[in-house]
Structure 1
Amino acid sequence: MVIVHSQAPVILVGGAPIEKEILFQALDLGDQVVAADSGALAVLDAGRVPDAVIGDFDSLPEDHRAAIPAERLHYVPEQDSTDFEKCLTRIDAPLVIAIGFSGARLDHELAVFSTLLRIDTPPCVILRGAELAFIAPPQLRLDLPVGSNLSFFPLAPVTVTTSGVKWPLTDALMRPGGLTSSSNIVTGPVALECDTRAVLVTLPAASVASVMQALAGPTASPA
């Protein structure tokens, strides 16, 4: 059941540690702010009340819960999915920018990427400190500064063609434990084509505006 509807990007905040400056920058990228359970603490600490809090509330203290209007609290008790998945599957938006889902525990971060591999709507960008990551659609075009670092990492077997990078690929079979394309360098407009949605792209976080436009169109780009 969809809980959050938006015509603009939605910011999704998790409970992993977040530098406040980075959180403020992220909050400016979207319209509504959704917290995954204890992610509400960071949002409240930044001086904003989440538009929705979704989760099983196992890590949201009662005093913080009391600071949020009851109609914005959405309790989802089932334990078959993570709070990240509970949130992502209940958001209807052109794009989700997620922060606070990396750095605390490796298993949690791996679970996030596993969820992104299974769920393609809405598209989601993970901000993780100075980097960002997302699952590429079958066709991707990015306008990035020449010299930028980027990586293509397969989460499942996938045939890939890339251009606009120092080490391009043509109909190359990539797979976990096999061929990857890490620490590549932008040489021009970047293009990626793949036969299935299984390539994790990592870039500097400064490229977020270009990524937002590529994944959700011009209206999704921050002002």
Structure 2
Amino acid sequence: MKAGFAPFSEKVTLLGGGELTPASVSDCLTRAPNLVVCDGAAARALEIGLMPQRVVGDMDSLDDATRARLDPAILHEIAEQESTDFEKALSTVEAPLILGAGFMGGRLDHELACYNALVRHAGQPCILVGERDICFHAPKPVSLMLPVGMRVSLFPMAEVVVDGAGLEWPLDRLRLAPWGRVGTSNRAVAERVEIAPNGHGLLVILPRAGLDAAIAALAG
């Protein structure tokens, strides 16, 4: 971590270069008040009247006019090209939880890379927040308080065996894999939904309305 960049004691809103609306950003900041942006998203943050506390990335998308408006002390430049800006942020930002907005709904290859990064950086809890859905990695059992009837989808990024309760189609030592069976379009039939994978690699996808339940499950 760059000298002087201490861990955040409260949740972080992280902005990327995908679909972003002021309402969505405000919604995230209400729940996660510290603002960090991936380099190109700094311009969008300033445009909607927000000053980031930290800018992370290789800075190839940070234009000169935007850079001039930022305190150099908040820039965390990582020049290597082997990882995405989102991955750079996950590996350098320490916080109880990150809400990532602007990482879903844009380029598909960028979005897939973000899901890959969620799994590979399981030590930093993060929920990707889109305009319609949210997604997070569940490397260990999670308990979600959800409205009955809410869609609950599970997508494996690796082979994983899942147990659980509270879903219409039960999870009973169900083996999932990206090349085999997946667990999309399930539904909550109880207010408490338990999902217990036997290892890393399981993505949980919920409607946007499930955001507070996901925050409670991951951050307490």
- The AA in structure 2 aligned to 1:193 is A
CA contact (8 A) 1:160 1:194 kept: yes
Q: After TM superposition, list the pairs within 5 Å mapping 1:107-126 onto structure 2.
A: 107-126=109-128
- Hey, what does 1:192 align to over in structure 2? 195
- The AA in structure 1 aligned to 2:69 is A
Q: Distance in 1 between matches of 2:28 and 2:102?
A: 11
Q: Distance in 1 between matches of 2:136 and 2:101?
A: 12
CA contact (8 A) 1:24 1:46 kept: no
User: Shift of residue 104 of structure 1?
Assistant: 2.0
Q: Distance in 1 between matches of 2:10 and 2:213?
A: 16
User: Shift of residue 177 of structure 1?
Assistant: 2.5
Corresponding residue SS for 2:49 = coil
Q: Distance in 2 between matches of 1:154 and 1:106?
A: 17
- Hey, what does 1:86 align to over in structure 2? 88
Q: Distance in 1 between matches of 2:140 and 2:57?
A: 31
Q: Distance in 1 between matches of 2:123 and 2:46?
A: 27
Corresponding residue SS for 2:164 = strand
- Hey, what does 2:151 align to over in structure 1? 149
Structure 2 gap ranges (5+) = none
Moved segments of 4+, more than 6 Å: none
Q: Distance in 1 between matches of 2:129 and 2:6?
A: 20
- Hey, what does 1:221 align to over in structure 2? none
Corresponding residue SS for 2:79 = coil
Corresponding residue SS for 1:146 = coil
Among candidates 28, 31, 34, match of residue 30 of structure 2: 28
Structure 1 gap ranges (5+) = 218-223
Q: After TM superposition, list the pairs within 5 Å mapping 1:51-130 onto structure 2.
A: 51-130=53-132
CA contact (8 A) 1:4 1:90 kept: no
Q: Distance in 2 between matches of 1:86 and 1:170?
A: 36
User: Shift of residue 17 of structure 1?
Assistant: 2.5
Corresponding residue SS for 1:169 = coil
> What TM-score results when the alignment is normalised by the length of structure 2?
0.95
Q: CA RMSD in A?
A: 1.2
- The AA in structure 2 aligned to 1:32 is N
User: Shift of residue 136 of structure 1?
Assistant: 0.9
Taking only the aligned residue pairs, the percentage that are identical comes to 37
- The AA in structure 1 aligned to 2:216 is Q
> What TM-score results when the alignment is normalised by the length of structure 1?
0.93
- Hey, what does 1:168 align to over in structure 2? 170
Q: Distance in 2 between matches of 1:216 and 1:56?
A: 29
Alignment: residue pair count: 217
